[in-house]
Structures are given as C-alpha cells and as structure tokens.
C-alpha cells in the first residue's frame, strides 16, 4: 500500500511603497495563503494459482493362454482310414487399472517398490524409528511381509494379515533401521501384484 500526500503552500506578499503626492508612506500588504492537499491510496493485490500435476495411474496387462481339449476326427473309407487331430489355444488379455495408492500416514516416502508373487524388494535405508510400512495388493487373501535388517543378519515379520484387493493398509515398525534393508513378500499367489511403501514419519 502506498500513500502520496503532496502538500503545496504558497504565500504571496505584495508591498506598494511611496505614492507620489501623498504625505507619509502608504503601505498596502496583501497576504494570500493557499493550501492544496492531495490524498491518494493505492492498494495492490496479488493472487497466485497453483495447479497440481496430473497423476497417471499404472495399467497392468497380462496375457493368459489356455490350451483347449484336443479334438480327434476319424474318417474311414473303403480302403483308407484318416485320423485328424487338432490342438487349439485361447488367448485372453487382462488389463487392470488399479486405484492410486495414497498415503494414509503422514510422512515422507523414502522407498516405493512394486512386485509380483513371492519376491524381495531392492535394498533401502531409513534412519529413524518408528517408520510406517504401507502396502496394497491386486488380490484378496493373505499377505505376509518380512523385513531383513542388520545387513541381512536378522529377519522379522512385519505383516501377516488378510487383505482386500486395491485397499491400502499400514503398520508401524519399531527399533529396526539402518542401511541395506529390504522387504520380502511371501505366501501369496504366484501372479499376485503388490506395491509397498516405506514412510519416514514427520
């Protein structure tokens, strides 16, 4: 906000002295005073609009090939018998568009990994306890996760629980932190897809 207050003050003084033919001196003084005050207020408002980036969800596509029963056709003529055997396969493509996994725990995501079936994540590091472990699957059933820590010297089960497809779950992990840690997902469907997150609490 800026204010401009210019003030102009002027004084006009006119003196007339010694009129000829008159006795004595005649002095006439005219005083004119004027004041100009200008007040102006300028208000400036700035508005900033922020648009979050678009989020593209991952799309999972799998192709399943099924072998149909073998068909055998036999044609018998007067002199020849012909047997024809045919094998057919059916191919089905399944496309899944999962909902985005959103943080249900306040914190900073320090590691995120997606896998399929029984497998381990890449190594990660976290240096504060407790920290949060979030997970989501594309199937409903049992979910088991183990944590390897102390450079692979120790293991601990952090989740053994039923899950519902595309739901996000979380648990807290205490007194286990450091370098070269990883999560191993076990006892799940061979084609089961899963995503996990390691969150440093704030």
- For the chain, what are the domain ranges? 2-42, 60-96, 107-201
Domain 107-201, what fold? Answer: Jelly Rolls (2.60.120)
Q: Which of 105, 108, 67 is nearest to 86 (CA)?
A: 67
- What pLDDT score was predicted for residue 56? 45
- What pLDDT score was predicted for residue 111? 96
Would you give the distance in Å from CA 107 to the centre of its chain?
Answer: 12
Q: What does the pLDDT look like over 13-56, one tens digit per residue?
A: 444 444 455 455 555 555 555 555 655 555 554 444 444 444 44
Q: What does the pLDDT look like over 146-160, one tens digit per residue?
A: 999 988 889 899 999
Distances (CA, A) of 137 to 20, 112, 120, 164, 193: 116, 14, 15, 7, 6
Distances (CA, A) of 97 to 45, 79, 130: 44, 60, 32
């Amino acid at each position: 906000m800026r204010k401009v207050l210019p003030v102009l003050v002027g004084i006009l003084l006119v003196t007339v002295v010694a009129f000829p033919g008159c006795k004595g001196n005649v002095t006439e003084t005219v005083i004119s005073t004027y004041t100009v005050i200008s007040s102006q207020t300028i208000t400036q408002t700035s508005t900033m609009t922020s648009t979050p980036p678009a989020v593209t969800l991952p799309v999972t596509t799998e192709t399943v090939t099924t072998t149909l029963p073998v068909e055998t056709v036999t044609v018998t003529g007067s002199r020849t018998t012909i047997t024809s055997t045919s094998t057919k396969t059916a191919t089905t493509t399944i496309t899944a568009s999962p909902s985005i996994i959103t943080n249900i725990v306040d914190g900073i995501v320090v590691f995120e990994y997606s896998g399929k079936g029984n497998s381990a994540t890449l190594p990660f590091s976290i240096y504060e306890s407790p920290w949060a472990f979030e997970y989501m699957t594309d199937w409903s059933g049992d979910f088991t996760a183990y944590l390897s820590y102390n450079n692979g010297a120790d293991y601990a089960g952090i989740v053994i629980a039923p899950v519902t497809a595309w739901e996000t779950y979380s648990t807290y992990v205490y007194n286990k932190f450091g370098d070269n840690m990883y999560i191993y997902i076990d006892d799940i469907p061979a084609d089961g897809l899963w995503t996990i997150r390691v969150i440093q609490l704030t």
